[in-house]
Amino acid sequence: MTMTAIQSDSAWLRIPDYEITALNPKLAGRVPELKGALESGLPAYPDASRENFYDVELPTGWAYIHVRDEKQVVYLIAYSRIQFGNAG
């Protein structure tokens, strides 16, 4: 896992070779998008109350993940779709 600070409240997270697993089977369809983003690298926002838990922004929404370095796995815990409101 590669993580580089880009702001005080965020980090650059790049995890090219870990297994990605959705904890909820309903989220399994989001795994390819998350895997691609983690392979390329993306901004991650650490959870201040939980070590190795992050919010990450994907092209279609936000994911909450847990990184287990000792098992080389990333767990997709939750996903929220980006909703665009009507302007004007």
6 within domain boundaries: no
Total tally of structural domains belonging to the chain: 1
CATH of the domain at 55: 3.30.2310.20
Over range 29-57, report the average pLDDT.
96
The backbone torsions φ and ψ at residue 37, rounded to the nearest 5 degrees and listed phi first, read -65, -40
Q: Are 74 and 19 in contact (CB under 8 A)?
A: yes
| Residue 60 domain flag | yes
pLDDT digit string, tens, across residues 5-34: 444 588 899 999 999 999 999 999 999 999
Answering whether pTM is above 0.75, one says: yes
